[in-house]
Chains A and B, each alone.
Chain A
Amino acid sequence: MILYFKKNSKHGPKLQATVAEVYAREMTATCHTLKDALFSTARPMSFCDIIVLLVEDQLELANLSEYGSQLIENNLILILPNKETDNLAAGCAYRPKYMADMNGDFKDVQNVIKKMTDL
């Protein structure tokens, strides 16, 4: 799994800890730049099955368009600044398996990962 959040993210560590409860840390590559995160998925034989991106603002969401084709080829869980219609609409373009809200406890993200990995 590839987990992305900004280095100074307020919500990132909480997300990381919640995800680690259901998905082994050693099998998770945590990245702090989008470039690193998406570069990892483009590597040959990367065996990346899930990408979790914590996108904290609309600018970051807009920046995802640069990596659009890489994102849609993967099982993407997109965590948005909030679930306002504009953000959901922008997120839909990347064909995520699930869109969450960063203001929650991330238990929903945990449940989706559990279902995805058939735990």
Chain B
Amino acid sequence: MGNVLIIDDHLTTCTMLQQMIERIHHHAEYCHELVDGLNKVRTGHFDVVFLDVNMPDGNGLDTLKQIKEMSDPPEVIIITGVGTKSGAELAVKNGAWDYIQKPLSPKEILLPIKRVLEYRENYRKAPKSLSILKRHELIGNSPQLSQCLEQLARAAENESNVLFTGETGTGKEVFARALHANSCRSGNRLVTVDCSTLPDNLIADTLFGHEKGAFTGADRRTTGLIKLADGGSLFLDEIGDLDPNLQKTLLRVLQEKKFMPVGSINEVFSDFRLIAATHKDLKKMVKDGQFREDLYFRLHSQVIMLPPLRERIEDIEILMMHYMRKLAEKYNKESKGFSPDYLDTLKAYNWPGNIREFMHAIEDSFHAAGSESILFAKHLAENIRIQAIRKSIDTVEPQISEIQEKVQPSSTTTLPTLRHYRDAALDEVEKSYLLQLMAITHGKIKEACSIADIGRTRLYNLLKKHNISRKNN
């Protein structure tokens, strides 16, 4: 028996749905507010949630995102009185199972309910592959990463093509390697071809190989990398950069698992699994006529969207410690500790280059610290620190003009050094923040630590530094 939750502000819709669901021997309950619904999803064990879009306390599509970020979330079917294409697209992008427009007919409801519960049943029976997933360099426990790992684990159990999307540096190649290593093809090769690095004329030769005499300089036969991937996986990195003519050829290879080396009249067979990756918006490229729609659909059977680092802040500490250990090993040095401000600064930066930029930043700071055993924010690159400062200033905007007045030199004084100027500004911002923090929390240290996301020792030290008393606030 499946458990269904209905979140809708109309009592009639709720009771009608409940009756329909109970008639097919499943349990259903309802609530009329998003807040109640979220609490029920968190505490209950629901397989399906019917979620209305226009609710008195908010938009159901925003709640959908929150539900899908939970661990082992239920499937969500969106129901709406005013259906729009963009709303439907957003719902599906955020993980909705279906998008149904009111008025609800039994046929429209019962079929998706049957399918979704069948899916949940199979999902429950399926081995919990995530626990045995070989994670390699996939570090972190954030809900965003966990969701990708769950998708990876499922993809590793089948043979369909997989497309990894995500910004530059989000770890698409690492995911591709993990997918291959966890698949039944792991005993064979993973062959990587980076389509962004190779000139168009070399990609065809690299992928398909050539016969002797196929062109000037082809004095012997060569094997293409597609053949080399026979029995294993072929990883085409930055597939969005593939030339349109090659896209056509690749599509045929994917359909028939056969291809002709350059200059050959004989077809070569290769049984490979395609793993592709791109940082480009392939859908937009299809629309603009830059990427073949048929190839896009071939690739689109399993898409894993990798989150940017700024959306998985909770992974920063564990990632930092991981790379720190690796650096110590690489350079044969003692691993270094870190101060809370170092971590806070890493968390405040938005990491446009994602994990790749993060790794370089950690390595740079590791070297900048020299023989010092503790890393401080000052060991990080200036652009990273400046952004962290800007962020902290944004949080105490009302005080900015006051601070500027305090640290701005008058026309009669000489300009201070940048360091003094910056330190003075930082001190003022820090003090102002702490005063507000103590006022908001009425001096409750536990609450203050939680809001500021800093440790107790760090908070006490800062209060002492700025001579701020807990009780006076």
Q: Which residues of chain B come closer than 8 Å to A44, judged between CB atoms?
A: 331, 363, 367
**In the assembled complex, which residues on chain B have CB atoms less than 8 Å from the CB atom of A114?**
199
**24 A–B contacts, CB within 8 A, in A order:** A42-B330, A44-B331, A44-B363, A45-B367, A83-B209, A83-B220, A88-B222, A88-B223, A89-B189, A89-B228, A92-B192, A92-B225, A92-B228, A95-B192, A97-B194, A97-B197, A97-B198, A98-B197, A111-B199, A111-B201, A112-B197, A114-B199, A115-B197, A115-B198
- Shortest CB–CB separation between residue A30 and chain B, in angstroms? 22
B interface majority secondary structure: mixed
Measured CB to CB, the closest approach of chain A to B218, in angstroms, equals: 9
Within 8 A of B (CB), among A72-91: 75, 82-85, 88-89
Asked if B324 lies at the interface with its beta carbon under 8 angstroms from chain A, I say: no
User: A20 vs B31: C-alpha distance in the bound complex, in angstroms?
Assistant: 72
**Interface secondary structure of A, over-half rule:** mixed
| Docked-complex contact A98 and B191, CB < 8 angstroms | no
Any B CB within 8 A of the CB of A56: no
B contacts with A, residue count (CB < 8 A):
24
B-side contacts of A57, CB under 8 Å: none
Closest residue of chain B to A70, judged by CB? B330
Which A residues are in CB contact (< 8 Å) with B199? 111-112, 114-115
Residue interface mask A91-109, B partner, CB < 8 A = 1: 0100101110101110010
Docked Cα-Cα span, A95 to B192, in Å, equals 7
Asked whether B202 is an interface residue with its Cβ less than 8 Å from the other chain, the reply is: yes
Asked whether any CB of chain B lies closer than 8 Å to the CB of A116, the reply is yes
> Which B residues are CB-close (under 8 A) to A89?
189, 228
* CB <8 Å contact, B228 and A83: no
A88 and B197 within 8 A (CB): no
A98 touches B220 (CB 8 A): no
Which A residues lie within 8 Å of B363 (CB)? 44
Contacts of A45 in B (CB 8 A): 364, 367
Residues of A within 8 A of B72 (CB): none
CA distance A65 to B269 in the complex (A): 30
Tell me how far the C-beta of B226 lies from the nearest C-beta in chain A, rounded to whole angstroms: 12
Chain A's nearest CB lies how many Å from the CB of B157?
Answer: 25
CA distance A75 to B197 in the complex (A): 10
Known: A44-B331, A88-B228. 16 other contacts (CB 8 A): A42-B330, A44-B367, A82-B220, A83-B209, A84-B223, A85-B228, A88-B222, A95-B192, A97-B194, A97-B198, A98-B198, A103-B219, A105-B217, A111-B201, A111-B202, A112-B198
The answer to whether A104 touches B217, judged by C-beta atoms less than 8 angstroms apart, is yes
B218's nearest neighbour on chain A, judged by CB, is A104
B160 at the interface (CB under 8 A from A): no
Which residue of the partner chain B has the closest CB to A97?
Answer: B197
Type the 1/0 row for B349-392, where 1 means its CB is closer than 8 Å to any CB of A.
00000000000000110010000000000000000000000000
Which of B202, B227, B367 neighbours the largest number of chain A CB atoms within 10 Å of its CB? B202
B290 interface hit (Cβ, 8 Å): no
Residues of A contacting B227 in the complex (Cβ-Cβ under 8 angstroms): 85
Pick the most buried of A75, A105, A112: most chain B CB atoms within 10 A of its CB. Answer: A112
**Which of chain B's residues has its CB closest to A44's CB?**
B367
The residue in chain A whose Cβ has the minimal distance to the Cβ of B216 is: A105
List B173-199 residues whose CB lies under 8 Å from chain A.
189, 191-192, 194, 197-199
Which residues of the other chain, A, contact B209 by a CB distance below 8 angstroms? 83
* Cα distance, A111 to B225, chains bound together (Å): 19
A104 / chain B contacts, CB cutoff of 8 Å: 217
* Residues A33-49 near B (CB distance < 8 A): 42, 44-45
- For B451-466 the 0/1 string (1 means CB < 8 A from A) is 0000000000000000
